[in-house]
Structure 1
Amino acid sequence: MLELIAIFAAAASGDVDQVKSVQQRDEDIVVTGQRTEGSDDYGVSEQRTATRLPLSQKETPQSVSVVTRAQIQDFQLNSVNEVLATVPGVSVLAAETDRFYYSARGFEITTFQIDGIGQPFAFGIQTGSLDTSFFDRIEVVRGAPGLLSFTGNPSAVVNYVRKRPYREFHTTASAQYGSFNNLRLDSDVSVPLTADGSVRARAVGSVLDTDSHLDRYHLTRWTGYGIVEADLGPNTIVSAGYGHQDHDTDNAQWGAVPLLYGDGTRFDFARNSNTGQPWSGWGVIDRQIFGDLTHQFGNGWSAKVSVLRRAIDEDNELFYVYGNPSRTAPEGINAATGEGVFSYPGKFVGPTRNLTIDAYVNGKVSLGGRSHDVMFGIQRGAERYRQDAAYDFGQIGVAIPLSQLFAGTFPRPPFRRSTACTSSTAPRGGCPCTV
């Protein structure tokens, strides 16, 4: 409308050159990408997670929630677990200190995407916490996403949308401090590498160092993210980047605390009780290398090709306890009835590797006197994982007195023996078993 007014005004003045200039501007094609940064809104005008078509939430035939960058910052939602806990209809279930299940509509969420690229969920459980410093926003589509992802089910699909570089210089930094010595530092810098911003880069880094309401538990998480983006022409953008996260904990738990005595009565313990040992912890390193090429053909048609290589390495030394203490026997151990709490330490080391290639084309077609949005594409993903488990069987089944259950005094076993577990033999939740 504004362009038409400008043309009419130029024509009325008799300025032919100005009319041509306005018309030429109207023919220009500018490649843009939507971001929620810099806005105070808790919503977006369009999202592509549901269908990969640029639809508003009103136009999307499914229930959609978008957690924008403004919401992440305002509520200090520093991990994906904290973000998903705010999404209506999504439950975040902690297995213990460092493993999480997600569910929606009565089913586990097993469909996750990064910039719309579907990612396999190897064990159906998230080990370690994903930092949100990488992401511009997180989109959640509730309902069956099977038509849109190779791992769809009736729960939901979660799409992590990465930050992209600006054409101008931008920088931010923040520091947070809270309960249990929770210290978080993060910085974000975007710089143009050419005068016109046709080549640009962005780097993001954060570190979290925190204790917990649990005795002795300590988490250190640091992340780094870098991306370079370039205009190959007025209609083509290429980008490549790398993300790295290191999640490391001390005195971490594996499994739950006994809830009942042997006679079925409730076992009382304090909120800060922790069965973790000084040597036990989850160590998860997550690395991502990615690249994509986007081209606008004009007339509403565009194409995108993406490649994502993800490598996850775990090195976990864990301590589990099982059994029910005796309410009457000294120190909670009754040899006659078998009541008591016993040890189960284990060491698990293993890599997970996946490579995903994704390509699609979308645009508009006229049919039957109406305009229709069309999308078609192809996706190929492959994943390999292996986990080696080591045990010292002489330290399994050792009776633990109640006075030592939460003391963190169990010695570290040598973990000499090992068994292998691969993608074809792993049961749900872990390897070689989740106890």
Structure 2
Amino acid sequence: MRLIYTLTLWTLSCAALFAQTGKITGQVFSSDGQPAEQVTIGLKGSSKGAISDAKGRFNIDKVKAGPHLVLMSFVGSETQEKQVEVIAGETIELTFTLLESANQLQEVIVKGGNLYNNEQLSSSLKLMTPILETPQNVQVVTSKVLSDQQIISMSDGLIRNVSGATRFEHWGDMYANISMRGSQIQAFRNGFNVVNSFWGPLTEDMSFVENIEFVKGPAGFMLANGDPSGLYNVVTKKPTGETKGEASFTMGSFDFYRTTLDLDGKLSKDGKFLYRLNLAGQNKGSFRPFEYNNRYSIAPVITYQIDEKTKLTAEYALQYAKMSNVGSFYVFSPEGYATLPRDFTLMAPGLAPTKIKDNSLFVNLQHQINDDWKVTAQVAYLHYNMAGSSAWPAMINSDGTMLRGVGLWDAKSEMTLGQVFVNGKVTTGGVVHRLLGGIDVGTKEYFADWGQSHALDTLGGLFNPKSPVYGIPANGYPAFDRTLDLEARAVSAGGLMDQKYTGLYLQDELGFLDNKIRLTIAGRYTHLSQAQWGGAPDKADHFTPRLGLSVSIDKNTSVYALYDQAFLPQSGRLSSGKKVQPVTGNNTEFGFKRDWNDGRWNTTLSFYRILKNNELTGDPSRPNSGFSVELGQKRAQGVEFDVRGSILPGLNLTANYAYTKSEVTKVTEGVTVAKVGDPIPGFAKHTANGWLSYKAQHGALKGTGISGGFTYLGDRATSTWSDTDDTYNLPNYFKLDGGVFWEKDKIRLTLNVFNILDKYLYSGGTYDFTTTGGAPITSYYWQAEAPRNYRLSLAYKF
């Protein structure tokens, strides 16, 4: 009876509350009578509001009875107001008309940064400061850029859009392995560091990616630990509150077929329960025989607006990849780079495929305490399984003949991560404090079995690259023993890594003179325990400060200076018996940022210097012993320039240049792997990129466009240590791409041609082998890029 009484009272209370509210609906038009979408409608003094859909319609539910001032706003347009009297249980219908025409609205959207230029960081980067006011070089690659360039994964030409970014050739399309400012940068997704080994994570499929944020240099507000060169943060697609969708189909050279579907909408009429679903599937061949990389992904997201101030978002992504042996991308020859045909392969047809299943789950809870304070809590669980093998020669002779080998590569990665952080604003006197504080915790485990290998050829039947014979290998196919669980096999193979960390961060950005001068004072304390190769865990505690200054010369121009630190724990055994110290690094940077033409496009110019200490390398006096010594010190310094945005209506540009000088500045006594002045492996001293797109705005060709871009890499170092005579360094690199497209209403047709000049492009390095007689020999290795090829896409929005 008490339960029934309580439920009755609750029901009556809800009914009474509902009866005290009304509803505001309506439609927004452009000046020429066309429906206007993406227009914001809100109630003054309340967080309630809506965004007009493709038909210009909007709905605001459960509005308290009484007088309200309804505001209509759109980027670059004059705000309009209407006074209404909401009556309980009734609906008020409103109509707004913008001053702009439909064509002018499109220009306003461009100005707002929805194409090539983002003015605001995602919430997963924790900062609430606009990019123009952030004292650091941050570049954002937008979804429009990804679409125009037909980028399908993190390793598919993405880095051309960021100054100074290069990529190691490691394992083809499995891992991104992006380098910047002299080192490999950390990989993030939705604000979490998802690096769990030297080789991961699996490259994200672009079907569920909204944009990618590149943060240059240490970023204490993001990194509990990591390399001081920086990070990239993949921001996934979320529900928008609009009911819409897009389907696309792409075909291309080398049996490439891909289809995607993006669904965005509401699960409840009141708009509190939203969803987003992205699906993708592809079959992808190669210009080399016997190679393939087939993938599919499923990425559902749901968002629930618990109340006016609290929102819960949960998202899951499954990526599945089935590809040929991952080592087949590599080509080896002691005679020099590119001395074999571009489509040459060492791949033995019939090898079992490598299969990868990557699962990730993210849950995010945001609560707006009031207008000045917001708390965010989020957790992530990532689980990765790989069953496959990698190819690598076991022996090479001076005439190029070799004994091909295949090694087992089964792996498992598991990460449980969590963050809680608070953003707030406090005013003391004439100083405004933007505050950020939070805790970052994580547990990571990686298991791998690479302890089994099999020779495909025999000493009497070596593989000859100059006269290759494919078919069943002379020594047959491998039959690896997977009887034991992977964890047990990983112990035997030494493929164990684990990491546990806790990071505390506090930042105060002080704004002076109406926020024209901004001083950032911050610090992070991190405790970490880490083990590699099955050894005992190494523990480290470290405090990293951050000091930044940003000054607005005018509303469109700022200058900044930054000093930031990072540390990267490492495991190993020192010959001296001393405790292994973490890698420490610091970044000194200053630069200029400017928005042009009312924010339609912007430029960033930065100068930096990064010092990196204590990095381990093998003990030259005890080769193959597992002992290490500290290398000494590395230094990376340079200049970076980026420009991106809409220069004119229909004309979009992203271009950049970087000068990078990365070298060894100190060498520990007895270390012979490097000398003072040697370049750091895997970078280019000069990098330049450009991508220009133009769409006709009027006339018979309206909606038709042309685009093109290039990449230039000069003074390239190899992925291994270089000799002073440049014997092993790589030649300069130039690639030209271009295409055409056509848009009308909801249809877009895109055709791009890549490597238009059909150049033999590659990257690589050297590796030491032995000959049949046991003599040492150094061989060149490289991975070639595809010859001239095309992609044709058809997309339909609904």
TM-score by length of 2: 0.46
Q: Does 1:388 align with 2:449?
A: yes
Partner of 1:203: 277
The percentage of aligned residue pairs carrying the same residue is 22
Q: Does 1:116 align with 2:191?
A: yes
Checking the alignment, whether the CA contact within 8 Å between 1:258 and 1:322 is kept in structure 2 is no
2-structure distance, mates of 1:308, 1:406 = 48
1-structure distance, mates of 2:327, 2:472 = 14
Checking the alignment, whether the CA contact within 8 Å between 2:266 and 2:275 is kept in structure 1 is yes
1:209-358 paired onto structure 2 within 5 Å: 209-253=283-327, 256-261=330-335, 268-278=339-349, 279-327=351-399, 340-358=401-419
- Mean CA deviation greater in 202-211 or 412-421: 412-421
Q: Does 1:376 align with 2:437?
A: yes
2-structure distance, mates of 1:162, 1:225 = 9
Q: Does 1:103 align with 2:179?
A: yes
- Mean CA deviation greater in 341-350 or 206-215: 341-350
Partner of 2:755: none
Q: Deviations over 1:78-127 (max 9, x none)?
A: 10123234322111111243444211000111x222221232x2222236
Q: Deviations over 1:1-22 (max 9, x none)?
A: xxxxxxxxxxxxxxxxxxxxxx
2-structure distance, mates of 1:239, 1:49 = 13
Equivalent position to 1:28, from 35, 46, 55 = 46
2-structure distance, mates of 1:104, 1:324 = 33
Please tell me the residue identity of whatever aligns with 1:401: F
- Mean CA deviation greater in 392-401 or 250-259: 392-401
2-structure distance, mates of 1:25, 1:99 = 47
Rate the CA distance shift 1:151–1:188 in 2: closer, same or farther, 3 A: same
Structure 2: gaps of 5 or more residues: 1-41, 52-108, 483-488, 498-530, 535-569, 571-625, 627-766, 769-798
Partner of 2:141: 67
Rate the CA distance shift 1:204–1:173 in 2: closer, same or farther, 3 A: same
SS for the counterpart of 2:339 is coil
Partner of 1:400: 462
Q: Does 1:52 align with 2:70?
A: no
Partner of 1:18: none
**C-alpha displacement of 1:414:** 1.3
Superposition RMSD in Å: 3.0
Q: Deviations over 1:213-234 (max 9, x none)?
A: 2122111011100011111101
Equivalent position to 2:255, from 149, 166, 181 = 181
Equivalent position to 1:415, from 463, 480, 483 = 480
Equivalent position to 1:143, from 202, 217, 221 = 217
- Mean CA deviation greater in 391-400 or 282-291: 391-400
SS for the counterpart of 2:193 is strand
Partner of 1:78: 152
2-structure distance, mates of 1:374, 1:266 = 53
SS for the counterpart of 2:159 is helix
SS for the counterpart of 1:133 is helix
2-structure distance, mates of 1:231, 1:416 = 51
Partner of 1:94: 169
2-structure distance, mates of 1:358, 1:53 = 14
Larger-Rg structure: 2
Checking the alignment, whether the CA contact within 8 Å between 1:31 and 1:234 is kept in structure 2 is no
Please tell me the residue identity of whatever aligns with 2:364: D
Q: Deviations over 1:369-418 (max 9, x none)?
A: 12121100101110111112352557687552306757354231112386
Indicate the structure with greater strand content: 2
2-structure distance, mates of 1:302, 1:127 = 31
Checking the alignment, whether the CA contact within 8 Å between 2:328 and 2:345 is kept in structure 1 is no
2-structure distance, mates of 1:293, 1:318 = 41
Equivalent position to 1:426, from 533, 536, 543 = 533
**C-alpha displacement of 1:290:** 1.6
2-structure distance, mates of 1:396, 1:276 = 12
SS for the counterpart of 1:94 is coil
SS for the counterpart of 2:280 is strand
Please tell me the residue identity of whatever aligns with 1:380: V
2-structure distance, mates of 1:194, 1:147 = 36
Rate the CA distance shift 1:311–1:43 in 2: closer, same or farther, 3 A: same
2-structure distance, mates of 1:362, 1:117 = 18
2-structure distance, mates of 1:277, 1:425 = 33
SS for the counterpart of 2:207 is coil
Q: Deviations over 1:235-263 (max 9, x none)?
A: 110111210001111254257322314xx
Please tell me the residue identity of whatever aligns with 1:321: P
Partner of 1:16: none
2-structure distance, mates of 1:99, 1:25 = 47
- Mean CA deviation greater in 394-403 or 229-238: 394-403
1-structure distance, mates of 2:479, 2:359 = 29
**C-alpha displacement of 1:326:** 3.6
Please tell me the residue identity of whatever aligns with 2:180: A
Please tell me the residue identity of whatever aligns with 1:159: N
Q: Deviations over 1:319-367 (max 9, x none)?
A: 222443343xxxx5xxxxxxx4112212122211000011100011112
How many aligned residue pairs are there? 390
SS for the counterpart of 2:222 is coil
SS for the counterpart of 1:151 is coil
SS for the counterpart of 2:210 is strand
Please tell me the residue identity of whatever aligns with 2:181: R
TM-score by length of 1: 0.81
SS for the counterpart of 1:81 is coil
Please tell me the residue identity of whatever aligns with 1:293: L
1-structure distance, mates of 2:347, 2:48 = 56
1-structure distance, mates of 2:389, 2:296 = 20
Please tell me the residue identity of whatever aligns with 2:190: D
SS for the counterpart of 1:314 is strand
Checking the alignment, whether the CA contact within 8 Å between 2:124 and 2:191 is kept in structure 1 is no
Please tell me the residue identity of whatever aligns with 1:108: Q
Rate the CA distance shift 1:406–1:106 in 2: closer, same or farther, 3 A: farther
1-structure distance, mates of 2:274, 2:458 = 58
**C-alpha displacement of 1:280:** 4.7
Structure 1: gaps of 5 or more residues: 1-23, 333-339
Please tell me the residue identity of whatever aligns with 1:356: L
